[in-house]
Amino acid sequence: MTTPLGFDPKFLADIDVPLPDRPGVLVLPYTHFSVSIDPARRLAAVTGVNIDGANMKDVARGDDWRLDDHLQASQQAGNELYSNNDLDRGHLVRRRDPVWGELSVAQRANKDTFHYTVCAPQTATLNQSKTLWLGLEDYVLGYAEQYGRRLSVFSGCIFADDDPIYRGIAIPRQFFKIAVWSQDSTPACTGYVLDQSPSLGPVLDKPLRLETDPPPLRPVPDLPGSGSRHRVGDGSRTGHADRGRSLCTGGGSSRGCVDVDRVDETVRRALVNRSGFGGGQADERRSVDGLAAGGRIDAGLAQSTFGGDRRAGPPCQSRS
């Protein structure tokens, strides 16, 4: 059986959730996910992955990072960005997320996640922290596996004109992740922005590390408290540590959603609702700085307006 390549906008069956798009990006289909790469930035503007929590497979990780032959090397960031420094190859599509279905398909999906187009430069503080990017990945996939749910997840870089240049590439300070699912045939979603600014400066300022130097010892933070493990950070903008900021939410009576405008601009004054999966108990709106992911995630989602008139969007409506 041949499995179609790429992100499936009809994966959730009763709602249509397309991959966000905008002019200037190149869409690369892989197994169960797609990457929209900005060739000018050489990084992914947005990725979309379908997760089938009821059919996950346990596949050995591997670590065979490679360029994508469908792109010129000058349009993607390769090993030259990550060698001899403390930048992680941060999976925007988590390695395990598309690893489901028949074993041969799952193995191909696992291998596909090791294209450089799928990762972005993240500090170890952000990428490996159980309270930041890794913790958010665990939360999303754990929800899908625990309840056997299907999710469509969008992740990507938030590009800003003043992102710091390192080895010829502008390094994003912020990243987003938005999970969408069907709840009683109604679209619901939850989203987060995570900021690596506080830990990025020391990494970029370090001198070149020689191959003979021992790698730095990286402490692994404890799991956050169970009462708030779905909250990645508290939504505030401070310089104390890398924090996550919830953007939109879904489920229950307080469904929120996203209207994602442009990848290459930092979008201001976003109205958001916050809660976790299957929420409904929270209806907290606050203004945050920035989301830029390219195109729109509409297709039946309620829409909060980014960068504009501070209007709340209409109720969720599924469309045929």
CB 140 within 8 A of CB 147: no
- Pick the range with the lowest mean pLDDT from 106-120, 175-189, 270-284: 270-284
Query: Which of 240, 137, 227 minimizes the C-alpha distance to 195?
Result: 240
pLDDT tens-digit readout, 167-221: 999 999 999 999 999 988 888 999 999 999 999 998 888 776 555 555 554 444 4
Q: What is the mean pLDDT of the chain?
A: 72
CB 177 within 8 A of CB 68: no
Give me the residue label for tokens 């830029």: 292
Q: Which two tokens stand for residue 82?
A: 């990550």
The mean pLDDT of 91-120, rounded to a whole number, is 96
What is the pTM assigned to this prediction?
0.70
pLDDT tens-digit readout, 129-170: 988 999 999 999 999 999 999 999 999 999 999 999 999 999
Bigger pLDDT: 243 or 19? 19
Q: Which residues contact 63 (CB under 8 A, 6 or more apart)?
A: 114
At 202 the three-state DSSP class reads: helix
Res. 226: pLDDT tops 70: no
- Evaluate the CA torsion angle 57, 61, 64, 66 in order and state its sign: positive
pLDDT of residue 2: 60
